[in-house]
A and B are shown apart, each in its own frame.
Chain A
Amino acid sequence: DTEVTQTPKHLVMGMTNKKSLKCEQHMGHRAMYWYKQKAKKPPELMFVYSYEKLSINESVPSRFSPECPNSSLLNLHLHALQPEDSALYLCASSQVDRSYEQYFGPGTRLTVT
């Protein structure tokens, strides 16, 4: 199984809502990543988890809160987002020592109204 799944595929939320994005993989990867991708732009790294611990936070605003409850799951909790946070949110995973070979999920298309 070389698949990374993400739910939901699409999400529309208001600026006062609280929602969560979910990511799951069963490849035994112990590194997991959240990226944000705006239209016609490359993915930008947000967070990296290694062995279920947060190892990189790319100065992401606190309205984005990641969580890695176990080695297969990665969540991104959203609260009080702004319209400019609308983007495609990509999850990826890799072996810890093969971070160059990341497997990406299909993404969640988020629209903040």
Chain B
Amino acid sequence: EDKVVQSPLSLVVHEGDTVTLNCSYEVTNFRSLLWYKQEKKAPTFLFMLTSSGIEKKSGRLSSILDKKELSSILNITATQTGDSAIYLCAMIKTSYDKVIFGPGTSLSVIP
């Protein structure tokens, strides 16, 4: 059965800290791994990773995929209170365009 696992499930850090969120997956016909940020309600798209070892970067956020280890990390440097959210890892398969979400990591950044 296809599965996406995230760790930790929740995390509390202080502003300015650097955090690393982990995602691992088991899936047949893997196409891409996705990261979304969910604040209050609607998830917003962060990154899509398809190739191993190529870092995607957006401001203080960066992510990389390791297809050998079937995993990905999302790094956030110099965290701010506005980074507080649930970070969802997801995958998309080649067979059809279904996004399968992991359980999410709830990040709280305190001043």
Contacts and interface: CB of A to CB of B under 8 A. Distances in A.
Tell me whether A and B are bound partners.
yes
Given A100-B34, A101-B48, A42 B101 contact: yes
B41 A107 contact: yes
Contacts, number: 51
22 contacts: A4-B42, A41-B103, A42-B88, A42-B101, A42-B104, A43-B43, A43-B88, A45-B98, A45-B99, A48-B97, A48-B98, A56-B96, A90-B41, A99-B92, A100-B32, A100-B45, A100-B48, A100-B99, A101-B48, A102-B99, A104-B43, A104-B44
Given A90-B41, A90-B42, A106-B41, 7 more contacts: A43-B88, A44-B101, A45-B99, A58-B98, A88-B41, A100-B34, A104-B42
Interface in B32-86: 32, 34, 41-45, 48
Interface of A: 4, 31, 41-45, 48, 55-56, 58, 88, 90, 99-107
Nearest to A58: B98
Contacts of A99: 92, 97, 99
Nearest to B103: A42
Contacts of B45: 100-103
A49 B99 CA distance: 14
B87 to A, nearest CB: 11
